Structure 1
């Protein structure tokens, strides 16, 4: 039997409020983490769990209505002998990414780390028997990549996740009773493990509050716990509404900040916090055998550019296969994006949102020295009128080649003349000095 961690909850519970860590003041370490995060701009999202065995995405338990007792058989088939943490992290670096966010526990409740408060984890329930989170964290430390942990607040497996929410109900076979406070204690205990057993981490990426919008999630307690254990760790939550006090970055699921084409984003608020947009390479997060609807390299690069134009990071997802390998199609895309960033990365990394908000034609980013980059993503012909910049232009050159750009500043904006031979496939970038 594993020992039970008894949390000294009162040590961290500084507020009884349900939805906020009121009066939260980020630490010096946290503010430094926020600055690093905004400089990093690009990371890999990894959705990996026992659900990969079924090849039908990370929601397979809910979508196929698999009862808990049947789903609990999956771990005995999970033996990712081809998992190579060094290979994963090396690929991330070649892709030009600066951090990884990996699922420590998804909605199915199965922990991909060695947990002392539950035996429902990769070490105790799989023939593989190794802590992949530990292996990945050690390799990230060696290669200089930050690691964030995705952690699901929603849990389709735990009996104390009660009353049931909008998903995972009616088929799991769990008793129709439970102690909600016990569940939150359990969640906080697992978070304590993640925050104390794996060294310094980038932060916690929460998901699942939307399943029970009106529940007492005891956020003040959980957020205080995280900030106390790791003052530099950043907290973000995919709850689709404006950030609560205690959160350190705001995320947007499969949409650029302020947009809602996917129907997830329930607020028009774009906060002053660091921003992040997450996106899939096909249509699903977890490994899906039949989803071959891969986005093109051009589309993904242009999405990353527009995200940067909003000042947001781009967190691009892959769902590794059950054997521990990342799909070759995904690796190919990531390496091609990395090649593009080798040449154009200075117009993305360490920049902030530009003086002209992203539009159909493209976006702008601004470097710390005041250089403005105009990213022309869609050019229908050789002339384009864009909004005026805040100051008069001193020089305008092509990022590639350094030749002068033909332009004129008018009362209606800046009229650019970009000959066909100067137009690049993904992004024609202009360097502006003012």
Structure 2
């Protein structure tokens, strides 16, 4: 879709701050129902939510005392969306992470400017960078002290000025001081820095770079997470109907698990506060799949066979599962296993899988009648 009519509109259409600020007068998501959102998330099989607390345009979706440029002070809606969602997450037992953009197209002290937000915002061409970092840390302190226990902080936007003095040590120490159990991750597209607790990949599987975001192919020893959109936009975009199929999303989730990574799937809420029906339907189908096959995904680590053209593998508690996503032939060569294969069976009906061990590796026999259009799961015993 056209990124310029979604969450990047201020930058892509070069809208000055005074004009962009007028949008707050129309922000009134009266049908926002946090119970509905969290129930949908649980039905989809998700275990946590990452909500935008502030995006690149600098507008806070919570009641910030540091800046009145926020949903409570500036909109007819006038409610703290973050608090409403956090209360419901606590009620339904879902962890809540806060997305926070380090990049800011609104704050005057975000200076010198980075690669974006230049020349059109109306900000003076001067500013005190350290004041901006102080402001950012003050907002983070609000998020970390006013909303109970949070799952973590999901940073974005450092790529705008990747070599700037971000004072990361100070920011990360602040987070871990206020919330020792909170996980810190940053979508800076680089190898993780000290103080980060997980490594994330934007719209690509770990180690891949088809989108051009993930400049380092290196995977750290930290927990991994891949984030992905349901169409081509992060924010709600009427013009973007290029929805990924349920099969495509499930297979990406499975491959992500095959790398040992979590799968963070995005949906951009509509202006009225509801989630668009197309996404609700897709998430429900994904949830039904996970109800049936989640044992082979949840809590697993990457299996003995790295993700490849035919699929991936996962393992947990001594069990190993092959996820065969693409196999046109009846015989599938899976290569060498770390131990001798004792038995193989289809997860679906526990029937035996015929196999042959050769010097080069193992060949599995998968009749067409046993193939699943999304994922043919085979459990191995070694």
Query: Considering the TM-score relative to the shorter chain, is it more than 0.5?
Result: yes
Match of 1:109 among 58, 62, 69: 58
Moved over 3 A (4+): none
Please report how far the alpha carbon of residue 412 of structure 1 lies from its aligned counterpart in structure 2 after TM superposition.
1.4
Return the alpha-carbon distance in structure 2 between the equivalents of residues 187 and 322 of structure 1: 27
Match of 1:141, SS state, is helix
Aligned counterpart, 1:383: 331
Return the alpha-carbon distance in structure 1 between the equivalents of residues 179 and 107 of structure 2: 27
Return the alpha-carbon distance in structure 1 between the equivalents of residues 246 and 330 of structure 2: 24
Gaps of 5+ in 2: none
Aligned counterpart, 1:397: 345
Return the alpha-carbon distance in structure 1 between the equivalents of residues 332 and 343 of structure 2: 18
Match of 2:91 among 142, 149, 152: 142
Contact kept, 8 Å, 1:55 with 1:287, in 2: the verdict is no
Match of 1:289, SS state, is coil
The alignment of Structure 1 onto Structure 2 pairs a total of residues equal to 380
Match of 1:318, SS state, is coil
Please report how far the alpha carbon of residue 408 of structure 1 lies from its aligned counterpart in structure 2 after TM superposition.
0.8
Aligned counterpart, 1:428: 376
Deviations 1:219-278 (A, max 9, x none): 011000001110000100000010000100000000000000000011121000000000
Match of 1:308 among 246, 250, 257: 257
Alpha-carbon RMSD across the aligned residues, in angstroms, is: 0.9
Aligned counterpart, 1:341: 290
Match of 1:120 among 50, 69, 72: 69
Asked if 1:207 is matched to 2:156, the reply is: yes
Contact kept, 8 Å, 1:55 with 1:289, in 2: the verdict is no
Aligned counterpart, 2:110: 161
Contact kept, 8 Å, 2:58 with 2:104, in 1: the verdict is yes
Deviations 1:22-69 (A, max 9, x none): xxxxxxxxxxxxxxxxxxxxxxxxxxxxxxxx9921101001110000
Return the alpha-carbon distance in structure 2 between the equivalents of residues 268 and 397 of structure 1: 35
Match of 1:324 among 273, 276, 300: 273
* Larger relative contact order (CA 8 Å, sep ≥ 6): 1
Gaps of 5+ in 1: 1-53
| TM-score, normalising length: structure 2 | 0.99
Contact kept, 8 Å, 2:35 with 2:88, in 1: the verdict is yes
Please report how far the alpha carbon of residue 394 of structure 1 lies from its aligned counterpart in structure 2 after TM superposition.
1.8
Match of 2:266, SS state, is strand
| 1:244-393 matched pairs, under 5 angstroms | 244-367=193-316, 369-393=317-341
Match of 2:18 among 61, 69, 72: 69
Match of 1:101, SS state, is strand
